Amino acid sequence: NRYMSLFILILPVIGLMERHGLRERAEILIGKINAATAGRIFMIYLFVRQVTVAFGINMSGMVAMVRPLIAPMSEAAVAQGRPVSQRTLDKVRGIAASADNTGNFFGQNLFLAAGGLLLIKGVMEQLGYSVELTDMVLYGLPTAVCAYIVNFIRFIIFDKTIQAS
């Protein structure tokens, strides 16, 4: 189908962009912004990810955004011209991945045509319960907001631990 062909076309494009310096340009860009911290980058990305997924727009997550852009920008924000341990870099990459997963997971529950919501609706109707997709989206909204707040706090704590070390 056409989505598979888009996926097949996107991978080589991302590979070419990485080969020709996408990661390095992202690191240089963040290195020039003094106010940039890894936590702030994660906060912005988590918000953007949740909102875009809630509108049914998929940014390809790990492959197209986290590995080539978000992780290198966050690593550059943590480094800020000083050496950083591999353990810290791995933690930054892990948190970048978790921001993507959290935004995707909780954002999907805000999209009316999401597969998960349609599955829940189908199962509930088979069991004799009448549920509306709009009601399920409204119930998912506070959960998505709470998930963002919890991660917001987690990213602030991460920034403070990086500054302290």
pTM above 0.85, yes or no: no
Model pLDDT, residue 59: 74
User: Of the ranges 12-16, 34-38, 65-69, 153-157, which is most confident?
Assistant: 153-157
pLDDT tens digits, one per residue of 16-50: 776 777 667 766 666 666 677 899 999 999 999 99
Distance CA 14, CA 19 (A): 9
Phi, psi of 99 (to 5 degrees): -65, -40
Residue 18, both tokens: 């990485």
Q: Are 100 and 62 in contact (CB under 8 A)?
A: yes
Backbone phi, then psi, for 131, in 5-degree steps? -130, 150
C-alpha to C-alpha distance for 47 and 91, rounded to whole angstroms: 20
User: pLDDT at residue 159 above 70?
Assistant: yes
Closest by CA position to 146, among listed 117, 116, 106, 119: 106
Summarised one tens digit per residue, pLDDT across range 77-122 is: 888 778 889 999 999 999 999 999 999 999 998 988 888 888 999 9
